A and B are shown apart, each in its own frame.
Chain A
């Protein structure tokens, strides 16, 4: 059944996004992997809304909310990264110890 294959793809995106989020040393790449995780959640919501709830479409509305929150999150994250880059001339995750000194 093709419905489960779409779920497998979303699980793959979640797993590889989690791996990249933990192991990446660049902050912008960590934000990209966070977008991958949010997209896997969106794929799950839209697929279940199409299969189980094709009259009410509440999964689509929740995925629209998630897209809006992801837009706000990406804007704030990239502003924080550019502010850190302005102060420390680096975007490595392990060098961002601004609270330390």
Chain B
């Protein structure tokens, strides 16, 4: 969706602030049911990001599969295991937590400096120059369908086999 400039900036800033708070909430909240709902909020905001970057099919797939299937499954699993043991699970900091936070913060800042140092404008210019100029008469969902049935036919079938095998394995593991 090609929004005008200030609207897009305000949307990205709002979704980014929600993502910051939601990501902190997934990790730092003590009750797992609250962190599961926070994960749902983060997934909905990520699908709005996809809508703002012109990829509607992935946004719909994100809403259907992540929010509708995975997050509901996680909430079911949290409610299925009784919550009595989580209440006395006091969150105390150990040495390992400090070392892990140090490593993660160093990874974060090194990746941010790498992204800031890369000259994206040159890469955009080189890829735009040798791109075939063609009118996109078909929509993006049709284009994804064409790619899935021609170029990516074998991975598509392999994904379906993986889903079948994993769901059969889940059923046999859960009903024993």
Contacts and interface: CB of A to CB of B under 8 A. Distances in A.
A binds B: yes
Interface of A: 1-9, 11-20, 22-26, 28-29, 31-33, 35-36, 39, 42-43, 46-47, 49-58, 60-61, 63-65, 67-76, 78-83, 85, 90-92
Contacts of B104: 15-16, 18-19, 22
Contacts of B174: 79, 82-83
18 contacts: A1-B120, A2-B12, A6-B53, A11-B111, A12-B23, A26-B32, A26-B89, A28-B36, A28-B74, A46-B49, A46-B55, A52-B123, A53-B127, A57-B143, A60-B140, A71-B65, A76-B170, A85-B81
B134 A55 contact: yes
Given A8-B112, A55-B134, A71-B69, A29 B144 contact: no
Contacts of A18: 104, 107
A50 B58 CA distance: 12
Interface string B113-150: 00110001001100100011010100010011001100
B73 A35 contact: no
Given A46-B53, A57-B143, A32 B74 contact: yes
Contacts of A24: 27
Contact of A5 (B12, B70, B81): B12
Interface residues of B, number: 76
Contacts of B27: 16-17, 19-20, 24, 29, 33
Given A47-B53, A75-B170, A67 B162 contact: no
Contacts of B32: 26, 28-29
